Structure 1
Amino acid sequence: MGEGNDQTLPYNAVEPHILAIDDCEDKDALWDLFCGVMQDDYGAELISYHHIPSPLAPDRLGLKVMAVGHDPAWVNMYRERELFRIDPIAQAANHMLLPFYWSSIEDRIKLTQEQKDFLVLLRQWLKGDGLAIPAFGPSGRNGYFGIGCREAVPDWSRPDAARIYWAAQAFHTRYCILHMAGLDMDFTLTSRQTQILQHLARGLDTQTIAVLLGSQTDTVDNTIRRILKKMGVTDTGSAILRAVSCGLIEP
């Protein structure tokens, strides 16, 4: 997987998995369902997931790391030392469109010394191999999956790898929806403020927005100042990015 000429299966090829994932209403149950599919259908022994909030989202300071099959001591070290910040496999996945095997990371990106040291540490805890899978969600939320086996390269056909890829993306999308529904915003906008911010995101200037809303330019300018104050930012670009991160407006 991961080369430019790779073929993936159509979405409906994994419809049973997708339907079950789409119907799930609880994040813990969703994770259990996904892990069950990976273990029972594909023999995966190592399963991990990074949920990565966008930089201006309400939960931007938290990165959720979930894992099954890994040594708990390694998982705790990974979380406590925030090794995800230097993990080259996870970082590379979020710059690629298709999965690739963990063992190929040194052929894919130029590693820093810190990243090389991380891989040495990783291989002390983890033998075997698996797929690094990028996932892309709403409001700029990315995700990363590691799906593999402990002792050897998983014996997955290309169709199997494609099904794993689609199931991972479906899980991430559903997880984002459930997670964002439970977020507490640290600001609120009126419908008019949201409307103006959406117009700004589309590249309209205040004079044009005033004409569209049947308002005065000064009124729009004052509203924008109130938006910036509410959102705790100093410019409209940051306000737009934060609103997109929170799912309040479309990018």
Structure 2
Amino acid sequence: MNLFSFVECANQTQSLKALFDLLVSCASVEAFTEVTYGALTFAEPLRLPECPPPLVAMKAPPDWCHSYLVRRYYTVDPVLRRAPTFGGPFLWDELPNEHQLQPCEQRVLREAREAGLKNGVGVPLFGPSGRISLISFASLFDDADPQRNMKHLNALAWHFHIAFAEIARPSGGGSNRKVSLSEREKDCLRWVGEGKSSWEIGKILNVSENTVNFHVKNAIRKLGTANRTQGLVKAIRLGLIEFSESYA
């Protein structure tokens, strides 16, 4: 399943398990078969069975899942604990270089590798009111390339995160469908999806960089999102702009 198929299917489900299975299926296309989703700074009432806070959903080798839960590694897992210090996707292997990890944190990373989890990628997801969630991807294969797949995994994580928010808090879903963006706001978001900076978008649209920022900020405000990436994903999910494979 590719990212386009994920977006299409995610729009049609109201089940956390079905949505999480879709996430795993889509990530598995690039060999990232092991996935964890957690709510780091708030209590998310909707979660899969056997997932204590901050975990919401988890798919990993059964022996590792058992050890992780029984030994309460989620309380000392550096991927979870250190995620808020990163502004975007990061590699698990970067953690020892970016932080002085405690022995318990080093043990979690070491035992994860011994359990077969390789080439890990964490995607912090920042929301309103200081909310921070995390989706973590890992592979069982040595040749999985986290750097090459970083953009794809980041987009996939945000699509899942926004779809999950609609399932977990459906009372806010109806108002989301009434969002209206101007054509210029849509144009700016489309180019954000192509990876263009405000300066580059300004050159393409023949407007100033400040004008681009104005339109993007307006779109983010209307969509009730926290940043450009989240705004782009939500606009796609609501059908306000067309999905492009280049977003993957």
- Which TM-score bucket, shorter chain as reference? 0.5 to 0.7
- Equivalent residue, structure 1, for 2:63: 73
Q: Which portions of structure 1, spanning 4 or more consecutive aligned residues, are displaced by more than 3 angstroms?
A: 14-20, 137-141
Which whole-Å CA distance do the structure 2 matches of 1:76 and 1:53 have between them? 24
Residues 114-125 of structure 1 mapped to structure 2, 5 A cutoff: 114-125=104-115
CA deviations 1:78-120 (Å, max 9, x no partner) are 1233211111122222321211211221111111222223333
Q: Which amino acid aligns with 2:22?
A: L
Query: TM-score, structure 2 length as denominator?
Result: 0.56
Task: Report SS of the residue matched to 2:169.
Answer: helix
- Equivalent residue, structure 2, for 1:43: 31
Pick aligned residue for 1:103 from 93, 96, 115: 93
Which whole-Å CA distance do the structure 2 matches of 1:152 and 1:173 have between them? 31
CA deviations 1:34-53 (Å, max 9, x no partner) are 111111x3222222222345
Pick aligned residue for 1:86 from 64, 70, 76: 76
Structure 1 residue runs without a partner (length 5+): 1-13, 183-251
CA RMSD of aligned residues (A): 2.9
Which whole-Å CA distance do the structure 2 matches of 1:157 and 1:52 have between them? 24
Deviation at 1:128, TM superposition (A): 2.2
| Greater RCO, CA 8 A, separation 6+ | 1
Structure 2 residue runs without a partner (length 5+): 47-51, 172-248
1:136/1:15 Cα in 2 relative to 1: closer, same or farther (>3 Å)?
A: farther
Task: Report SS of the residue matched to 2:134.
Answer: strand
**Do the aligned residues in 2 keep the contact of 1:44 with 1:148 (CA within 8 Å)?**
yes
Larger of the two Rg values belongs to structure? 1
**Do the aligned residues in 1 keep the contact of 2:7 with 2:159 (CA within 8 Å)?**
yes
**Do the aligned residues in 2 keep the contact of 1:130 with 1:153 (CA within 8 Å)?**
no
Which whole-Å CA distance do the structure 2 matches of 1:103 and 1:157 have between them? 12
1:53/1:34 Cα in 2 relative to 1: closer, same or farther (>3 Å)?
A: same
Which whole-Å CA distance do the structure 2 matches of 1:42 and 1:148 have between them? 10
Task: Report SS of the residue matched to 2:25.
Answer: helix
Which whole-Å CA distance do the structure 2 matches of 1:163 and 1:104 have between them? 19
1:17/1:138 Cα in 2 relative to 1: closer, same or farther (>3 Å)?
A: farther
Deviation at 1:171, TM superposition (A): 0.6
